[in-house]
Structure 1
Amino acid sequence: MVLAAMIGVASLAGVHAPEAQARTYVGVDVRVAPPPPRYERVRVRPGYVWAPGHWRWDGRRYYWIGGSYVPARRGYVYVAPRWNAYGPAWRFNEGHWRRR
């Protein structure tokens, strides 16, 4: 009887476990330089900021993600996504908002 109760409690422990609070970041160093950015025609759109397109690495090759308009945030400036040289490799930095 005690063994059955212990098994029942152990099986419920996973069901009632709280969500993990840890936040992970996985950075990837790419040894192949990204191609130059593609030209994208941008028109002024009041209330929006242009988030330019960028190259993404899928583990084998680069593929293009087209730019898009994002709603402007008062008091912030949009920092475009970009690839930065890091030693012999390249690292991608996501686009983000920065307080002015």
Structure 2
Amino acid sequence: MKTLSKFGVLAVLGGSLFLSACAGEYYVSDQPADVVYERPAPPYDGAVWIEGDWVWSGGRYVHQHGYWVRPRAGRTYVYGRWEHNNRGYRWHRGHWHR
């Protein structure tokens, strides 16, 4: 039976972490606290509010405030959400859905 050296094990682990990062699957042990801020008034009639989102930056999740946009014809905005599993917490970004 072939065994991996310490270097081989590190290379395999590093490769799996690299693939997770490429797929956008970033996990943290604790879900960040909700961010509270005042929503500005809509800039025009019919504007749709997009709630703040979490983005992976500098090795951690960073919150980006929400914003107003024009609605997209035939689409509905699906808000982002936290998912928890045995690897930790992962953010699923919001998106427009048909």
Q: How well do the aligned residues superpose, as a CA RMSD in angstroms?
A: 2.4
* Superposition TM-score, scaled by structure 1 size: 0.58
Bigger shift: 26-35 or 90-99? 26-35
**In 1: Cα distance, 2:25 partner to 2:49 partner:** 25
**In 1: Cα distance, 2:84 partner to 2:45 partner:** 34
* Superposition TM-score, scaled by structure 2 size: 0.59
Q: Does 1:36 align with 2:34?
A: yes
1:12-52 per-position Cα deviation (integer Å, ceiling 9, x unaligned):
xxxxxxxxxxxx63311222211113233253442321111
**In 2: Cα distance, 1:60 partner to 1:32 partner:** 14
Q: Considering fraction of residues, name the structure with more helix.
A: 2
Shift of the 40–57 alpha-carbon distance from structure 1 to 2, 3 Å rule, reads farther
Bigger shift: 86-95 or 59-68? 59-68
| Aligned amino acid, residue 55 of structure 2 | R
**In 1: Cα distance, 2:37 partner to 2:84 partner:** 21
User: Runs of 4+ in structure 1 displaced over 6 angstroms?
Assistant: none
- Structure 2 stretches lacking a partner, 5+ long: 1-21
Q: Percent identity?
A: 36
